[in-house]
């Protein structure tokens, strides 16, 4: 239901001051041709594990093509870390196109410069400086800190395909140089962080009011080396 609200709200721009019209640039943009996220959105040195795309962690967060799975990534801190001291950064040069208050912190939507069909969504932020709708922000610029141990930090990447809402893995769109930092943490390939569509179909999840009745049999987390 949330995905339909997002699409409708972008049309009814004058009705919500927390959303602005996204800039439309070259429509021929594919993740196969470029990995456009150049900075880690979170202090990676403080992270112990990352949930996989299409996992059974959290709650149903899906698109117009799949349902009843988590199509975003949760980042879980190391045991010694104060969750509210984890810095959050813009992963890309872009513009703030939406700000939403959440039950814990603020949700920010960033439209990447020159890649307007994509939307970067970072959840549960505590801003450490003033950020307003329409602000331009730079890749690697700190925008705040994680709200705290009330919930995980998470990030989603949305796009459109044939006028339908589509979610992508963070690891589909990060640059090769950024992925090198993950390769230092017990991983060698991007698919380590992704449950394929075929594998998820072989072990489907069940949802009750957007909550998972179980986490499934497939491993939901990727663990970094200690």
Q: Which residues lie across from 167 on neighbouring strands? A: 158
Q: Does position 24 have pLDDT exceeding 80, yes or no? A: no
Please tell me the distance from the alpha carbon of residue 201 to that of residue 211, in angstroms, as a whole number.
Answer: 18
Calculate what percentage of the chain has a pLDDT beyond 90.
Answer: 79
The per-residue pLDDT for 46 is 96
Query: What average pLDDT does range 35-49 have in this prediction?
Result: 96
The per-residue pLDDT for 19 is 67
Parse the chain into domains and list their residue ranges.
2-21+34-223
The per-residue pLDDT for 186 is 79
The per-residue pLDDT for 12 is 39
Q: What does the pLDDT look like over 89-133, one tens digit per residue? A: 999 999 999 999 999 999 999 999 999 999 999 999 999 999 999
Calculate what percentage of the chain has a pLDDT beyond 70.
Answer: 85
With 0.75 as the threshold, say if the pTM is over it: yes
Average pLDDT of the residues of the chain: 88
Encode burial over 176-201: b for 16+ CB neighbours within 10 A, e otherwise: eebbeebeebebeebeebbbeeeebe
Superfamily covering domain 2-21+34-223: Glucose Permease (Domain IIA) (2.70.70.10)
Query: What average pLDDT does range 204-219 have in this prediction?
Result: 96
Q: What does the pLDDT look like over 67-91, one tens digit per residue? A: 999 999 999 999 999 999 999 999 9
Contacts of 155 (CB under 8 A, 6+ apart): 41, 42, 72, 73, 75, 91, 120, 121, 122, 123, 170
């Amino acid at each position: 239901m949330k995905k339909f609200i997002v699409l409708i709200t972008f049309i009814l721009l004058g009705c919500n001051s927390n959303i602005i019209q996204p800039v439309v640039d070259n429509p021929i943009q594919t993740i196969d041709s470029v990995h456009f996220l150049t900075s880690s959105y979170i202090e990676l040195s403080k992270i112990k594990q990352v949930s996989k795309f299409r996992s059974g962690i959290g709650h149903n967060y899906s698109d117009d093509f799949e349902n009843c799975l988590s199509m975003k990534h949760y980042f879980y801190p190391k045991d010694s870390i104060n969750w509210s001291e984890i810095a959050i950064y813009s992963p890309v040069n872009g513009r703030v196109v939406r700000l939403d208050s959440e039950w814990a912190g603020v949700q920010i939507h960033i439209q990447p410069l020159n890649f307007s069909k994509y939307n970067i969504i970072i959840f549960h932020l505590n801003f450490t400086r003033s950020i307003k709708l329409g602000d331009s922000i730079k890749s690697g610029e700190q925008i705040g800190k994680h709200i705290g141990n009330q919930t995980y930090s998470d990030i989603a990447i949305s796009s459109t395909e044939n006028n339908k809402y589509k979610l992508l893995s963070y690891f589909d769109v990060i640059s090769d140089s950024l992925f090198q930092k993950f390769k230092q943490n017990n991983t060698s390939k991007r698919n380590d962080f992704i449950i394929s569509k075929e594998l998820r179909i072989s072990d489907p999840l069940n949802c009750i009011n957007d909550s998972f009745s179980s986490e499934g049999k497939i491993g939901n987390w990727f663990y970094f080396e200690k």
